[in-house]
Amino acid sequence: MPLHEKSEAVYAEVLARNPGEDEFHQAVREVLESIGPVLGKHPRYTDAKIVARLCEPERQIIFRVPWEDDRGEIHINRGFRVEFNSTLGPYKGGLRFHPSVRLGTVKFLGFEQIFKNALTGLPIGGGKGGADFDPKGRSDREVMRFCQSFMTELHRHVGEYTDVPAGDVGVGGREIGYLFGQYKRITNRYESGVLTGKGLTYGGAQVRAEATGYGCVFFVQEMLLARGDSLDGKTAVVSGSGNVAIYAIEKAHQLGAKVVACSDSGGYVHDPAGIDVALLKEIKEVRRERLTAYAEARPGARFVPGRQVWEVPCEVAMPCATQNEITGKEAAELVRNGVVAIGEGANMPTTPEGIRIFHEAGLAYGPGKAANAGGVATSALEMQQNASRDSWSFEYSEQRLQDIMRGIHTSCAETAEEYGMPGNYVAGANIAAYTRVADAMLALGLI
């Protein structure tokens, strides 16, 4: 899709100033393609150079993370925190520990986070962080030493009114606990609101672990309901087998769908009877094993190595693994196999070609910045509870999450309709989020 004339120069500058950061370029272009009608209708945004200011992070932090493994060998990793935009509130976004993490990765995630957080309607800005550390195969003590070294530098830049990290790929409850412990040790403050995704015994919130997966399913359900349909009786496929995937599977089953496949980096498991969530949790959350162990323990299931889960026929697809996992090829295969709805539990998991194919097929397609906003929304609810020294029930917290996801769906659908693109949740999400952030930026002046 061509860019609005007033966006072309901004995008050219983004390419020139951020060479080699393809994922960041992709995320920026997707937003710029959507907001052309807004820029034409409201020249005050271009006069204030809102787009150019949004594309440049307020702060980018890169630091060394030295740590020692169990054999006494010293390792040096690189840590990142990109504090992208704090117009609506303190920077909010997860930490990703994975060998693929580099500055461009963190910038694309942080840029997406600005819009995702704005869609929730909660007072949180956008940021992201992480390190090129791989926790896979490391002992608990090695992970602890890495997290302590990481937080020794990061603590200078975060705080409940400044920047509030959470978990992401490779950063779960174990890592958040070690990070919080080191923050408390260094600062001598029990500042619960500095991190979210904490354990329930030390300031965590109910539904936080489930939130991204549950929220994705709630969004898919809202898209289907808008078409006079529902998840009940649908066959679904989920990529990934981490936190987001597990709880997307769980909630999809609760709403009457049957998830028959999920994946990890080695391949996918196909279980025609429906994925056994309790067994999946045992293997992934307790034993920390590969999906091959699921197939070995589950009669009727088979593990398919080295293949994409998207070759399994389904009516609902939920990519919950990583960016750009659905290319044009996979999107076309999903369409041929009868998919009717796609909800992104991961960040930017579909390439532009894949998105084009879904739109041309007239499918219900929920982009990540809308469909996976449940995680950060519940993080903000955790911040509320920490600030008030309160603790909410699981039922109340889940209801708040469902209400937020319903509100995001309504905002995206109504905005797309207003700008002449009914059913286009990509445009609806980008425009609704952009206008909220842009109006706040205008109100705060040139800062």
Active site residues: 128
Our measurement of the distance from residue 276's CA atom to the centroid of its chain's CA atoms, rounded to an integer in Å, reads 24
DSSP assignment of 201-269 equals GGT--TTTTTHHHHHHHHHHHHHHHHTT--STT-EEEEE--SHHHHHHHHHHHHTT-EEEEEEETTEEE
Query: Which of 274, 278, 279, 305 is CA-nearest to residue 294?
Result: 279
User: CA 308 to CA 331: how far, in whole Å?
Assistant: 12
Residue type present at position 160: E
Q: Which of 409, 428, 406 is nearest to 418 (CA)?
A: 428
Which residues lie below 8 Å from residue 322, measured CB to CB, with a gap of 6+? 169, 240, 346, 349
Q: How far apart are CA 296 and CA 299, in angstroms?
A: 8
Helix (H) or strand (E) holding 32: helix 22-34
